[in-house]
Structure 1
């Protein structure tokens, strides 16, 4: 028997046990890990084979101990359980053209505060134990960008505090979302159900994401006094009272709707009663026009019973994954398909994306914007420090995960700072960083971006005078480095004022911009250029001039796309190398 199997009976039993553990509580990573060790050896030499098998046994023993630790972490004594919710979503548009569709959809629910892996199917590894499941919830993907180390509860509390809400009113919470599968998810909306100390549904946070990578959270409390335009939906008479709320629309979700109108929601408790239930999911969201007509009705509701992954057999897990693995991957293609039908078949006009408002979260920054954010932060800190009047500026960045908000104070004594005026400077979209460096004049930059392009929001605009209006004109370019002189001369010559962001417009309208494409003023070094030349070290200076020069050159020869510029540079380098080979 040993000769046939090529292993000892103990090793065979251990392998079989490990396989059972993998399919019972393990996820994708566990399966691949075991696969490499269970079928990876057919060594001809007996001593080598025995040594290899001994090493396998040691690793599998460690693995079994690790999975036992993950199982212990999955024990949850609080209310609610990790659940899988097979659902159906429907959209019905009433005007200007009728259109509807129905799709299957999968939601995952977890108690906020729970960490571990439930049956190898659902995981939330906020404690950093390595717990993995097929459907993964990561705190960094929700609410404010980044800060995953806070966990779901910490991030939820931070958001509630930002809305001036007492977090003690909602000691329990349950998140229902489209979780990551194989590292991917597209999540149009997540539902945070908030419960009172008596475990009654008391509020909801709707976390809405659009296809432009922007986000808006709505904190909605139970309110039975407001009128609601609701789709005709059959509900059971014994259902508990749902959350009903109507609020003004201020977030661009669909390109076929403007940012005007209102939303209303009817959301039933998925854990009723006493947070011990298992569904169903039942939520209806209505879009109401400015004339108070129901324009669109979107529903998501359970299609069958919720599933507790800790009660699933290995075969049930396999069957479930085979039936639902593809759903998350086709969410975005389905949106594109329906958008094409509305545009080409129904003839609806497209509303171009407006810049997000103060209440929204901008898209993720691209590589250039991520480089520019800390450089702009340094410059703003310098301006605040040198302010002639006592001033405190709360700077809130955009698009860079884990880039913290920061309070910047002018260089005055403590007595003066007690009387200092305070201003909040919030960047609404990371596009601001790449636009700001195009201006030669700081005050023109902030005035244009605040009032015309709407890429920033400032709580006290009058205080901008203290920061960005200079008492003296910046000196001409002066540097002892010929390299710096050449770089910044080129930057000065390539710099041009960015065109105003003119939104929202529909596809049926054309631009009405009256601004000339070419600035007729003589450009000079900007104050930000002068700051980096005079005050920053060589590392920061090199980073600043490099990113600006690449961006300016790309706008001239690569349609503003740094990837195209890189490709053009590569082609040029290959062409020069080929020419040199031909010559020599």
Structure 2
């Protein structure tokens, strides 16, 4: 497929790129040799939320065992692992208050994952009604910051076409020899279909978040869509005033390829000809953006937090480890509130699509005086920022303030439907003793974790989240919180707030320590053998290496016991 982006204003610019796009009937699970895998359970090609890249030998082998792969975990909302594309689609439609039964047939067009790498700007989900006519389209918009917005668009016919002849009885087509997968043609009643939607995502550093987009589609299941230079999809981005800012045209750059009919030479040519342009697209986009920026033609905007309804970047391990503490804090504050309230907590959409509903003790479902409140962090970094605020009121006040970005002046890092009510709940809880979180076996009071946190913070006063987490009677929860807090504080002090740089520091420090220990032990073994044992070089090396592993095991045991002592945990002995 060929994408042609043309900017109309405020300056004129054009950018073309090519991608390999694969069309999949939604619900299909299969594998075409070593070429293409679709929701193959035998492959491990993606990490659960919070695990980052998390490469293992199993994942590396999975990526190299198949050139292209589709994993439903990458599509639509995040958090559903182990389900196929049909289940993922149905879950998304229910979250949009739509009945999946409206669209029993669906077809998705997307760039596949190539050896673990993917650059996917747009994913098209074509939804067909029971008459097999195109009725709606889901546009999955991805930006360069790993954020996305999924837009459901109902389409209208633009130009009528003669009705297709009825299918002959018994003229069934199957995709496999065992006749398990049946092929059904679509039944369009128009040449083109059109839909209008609002962008609401930071798709380009030169564009604002707001914007109206008009799309014209061709049914991809019709042969006319795959003719050379056919207008497969036209996208026009307009300002609220109606002026056109950008047009994007999608055309077919080559005939469709049947993966079941490809030779080894065809596969090699496909991999080289279609993956290289995709890999080079990101550097080319960066180069063109910098060229526009430094030419002074347009000003580059900084990225604002995502809007409600969008999906933030992939969440990191520290952020997902700290999220339960904020959730438990909200629940504890609500338990201490005397008035009837129902709080809907929407965890950051970066790792889940769930909605957690919490209710105060006086809540009654039929009570008309019940207040309702929603709380939604839009930025996964909210969970790591939260633990540094001195009190909850300050944290909520700052996080709910508009960020003032040029691209989206109203953007917020924490969206609260009723800030005054949330402040009232927090103030009511602060005047009472909050119940400990993560109830478990009671442990005797331990001052060491408080002293360690206070030492790293450089002051004697702990934050409100420190106090809340340390009040937990579950030792494992305290250990997770303190470990996360210490990593954040260490990165802030030593590594410019970068966990990656801190990890590099720790890696090289560990290598240096091991090298010093090994050198010292080898020197000791050499002196011992020279003075009395008269061992040859092999025995000296064996003695030094054995002593090295014994010393490293002792160091690990001492480190674990020191951590248990500092966190107030009971060491586990084998």
**Do both share a fold (TM > 0.5)?**
yes
Given that 1:175 and 1:192 are in contact with CA atoms closer than 8 Å, whether structure 2 keeps it comes out as yes
**Is the counterpart of residue 297 in structure 1 residue 262 in structure 2?**
no
Query: What is residue 452 of structure 2 aligned with on the other side?
Result: 487
Question: Which residues of 2 match residues 78-97 of structure 1 at below 5 A?
Answer: 87-97=1-11
Question: Which residue in 1 is equivalent to 2:397?
Answer: 447
Aligned to 1:41: none
The residue aligned with 1:542 is 479
The superposition leaves residues 214-250 of structure 1 with CA deviations (integer Å, 9 ceiling, x where unpaired) of 110111112469xxxxxxxxxxxx9933222233331
Determine the C-alpha separation between the residues in 1 that align with 2:193 and 2:83. Answer: 28
Match of 1:469, SS?
A: helix
SS at match of 1:150: coil
Deviations 1:100-144 (A, max 9, x none): 122222111100111112465332126658997532111100010
1:307 has 2:257 as partner: yes
Q: Contact 1:97/1:346 (CA < 8 Å) preserved in 2?
A: no
What is the match of residue 155 of structure 2?
Answer: 222
Which stretches in structure 1 are left out of the alignment for 5+ residues?
1-86, 226-237, 495-522
Any residues of structure 2 matched to 1:94-173 within 5 Å, and which? 94-118=8-32, 120-125=34-39, 133-173=66-106
- Are the counterparts in 2 of residues 365 and 399 from structure 1 also a CA contact under 8 Å? no
Q: 1:455 to 1:565 in 2, by over 3 A?
A: same
- Work out whether 1:385 is the aligned partner of 2:335: yes
- Given candidates 477, 492, 502, the residue that maps to 1:555 is 492
Summarize the Cα distance change of 1:573–1:108 in structure 2 as closer, same or farther, 3 Å threshold: closer
Match of 2:133 in 1: 200
Contact 1:200 1:275 in 2 (8 A): no
Which of 307, 319, 323 in structure 2 is aligned with 1:373? Answer: 323
1:529 aligns with 466
Q: Say whether 1:425 aligns with 2:390.
A: no
How far apart in 1 are the matches of 2:518 and 2:34?
57
Distance 1:383 1:203 in 2: 43
Q: Distance in 2 between matches of 1:371 and 1:189?
A: 31
Query: In structure 2, do the counterparts of structure 1 residues 573 and 305 end up closer, same or farther at CA, with 3 Å as the change threshold?
Result: closer
Aligned to 2:120: 187
1:392-471 aligned at under 5 Å gives the runs 392-398=342-348, 400-402=350-352, 404-411=354-361, 420-453=370-403, 454-470=412-428
Distance 1:542 1:293, change over 3 A: same
TM-score normalised by L of structure 1: 0.70
CA RMSD in angstroms comes to 3.6
Question: How far apart in 2 are the matches of 1:196 and 1:278?
Answer: 28
* Cα separation, 2, equivalents of 1:152 and 1:580: 52
Residue 331 of structure 1: aligned partner: 281
Shift of 1:449: 1.0
Kept in 2, the 8 Å contact 1:428–1:456? The answer is: yes
How big is the shift at 1:180?
0.6
> Which whole-Å deviations, capped at 9, do the CAs of 1:160-213 have from their partners, x for residues lacking one?
222222322211110000011112111111000111111111111100010011
Extract unaligned runs of 5+ from structure 2: 45-63, 159-187, 404-411, 434-443, 522-574
TM-superposition CA deviations, 1:438-487 (whole Å, max 9, x none) = 11111221122123341122234343134311465589xxx943422312
Q: Could you tell me whether the CA contact under 8 Å between 2:218 and 2:225 is conserved in 1?
A: no
Aligned-partner SS, 1:287: strand
Is contact 1:271–1:278 with CA below 8 Å preserved after alignment? no
Q: Is the 8 A contact 1:139 1:148 kept in 2?
A: yes
The 2-side partners of 1:296 and 1:446 are apart by: 38
Shifted more, 447-456 versus 568-577: the winner is 568-577
Residues 126 and 148 of structure 1 are in contact (CA less than 8 Å); yes or no, is this contact kept in structure 2?
A: no
In structure 2, relative to structure 1, the CA distance for the partners of 1:132 and 1:545 (3 Å cut) is same
DSSP-derived class of the 2:468 partner: helix
Q: Give the Cα–Cα distance (whole angstroms) in 1 for the partners of residues 18 and 273 of structure 2.
A: 11
TM-fit CA distance, 1:321: 2.8
Structure 2 CA distance, aligned partners of 1:323 and 1:489?
58
The 1-side partners of 2:19 and 2:511 are apart by 48
The normalised TM-score by structure 2 is 0.71
Paired with 1:251 and 1:573, the residues of 2 have a C-alpha distance of 43
SS in 2 for 1:363: coil
Match of 2:206 among 252, 256, 260: 256
Q: Which residue is 1:33 aligned to?
A: none
Alpha-carbon contact 2:348-2:378 (below 8 Å) kept: yes
C-alpha contact 1:169 1:196 (8 A) present in aligned 2: yes
Q: Tell me the secondary structure at the aligned position of residue 124 of structure 2.
A: strand
Distance 1:575 1:197, change over 3 A: closer
Query: Offset at 1:298?
Result: 1.2
**Secondary structure at 1:256 match in 2:** coil
Structure 1 Cα separation of the partners of residues 229 and 17 of structure 2: 19
CA offset at residue 357 of structure 1?
Answer: 0.6
1:248-284: CA deviation from partner (whole Å, max 9, x where unpaired): 3311100011223322211111113899999967111
Hey, what's the Cα distance between the residues in 2 that align with 1:221 and 1:416?
A: 36
- Deviation per residue, 1:285-322 (Å, 9 max, x gap): 11213442222111111112212212334443343234
Aligned residues: 456
Structure 2 equivalent of residue 344 of structure 1: 294
Give 3-state SS (helix, strand or coil) of 2:287's partner: helix
Q: Secondary structure at the match of 2:126?
A: strand
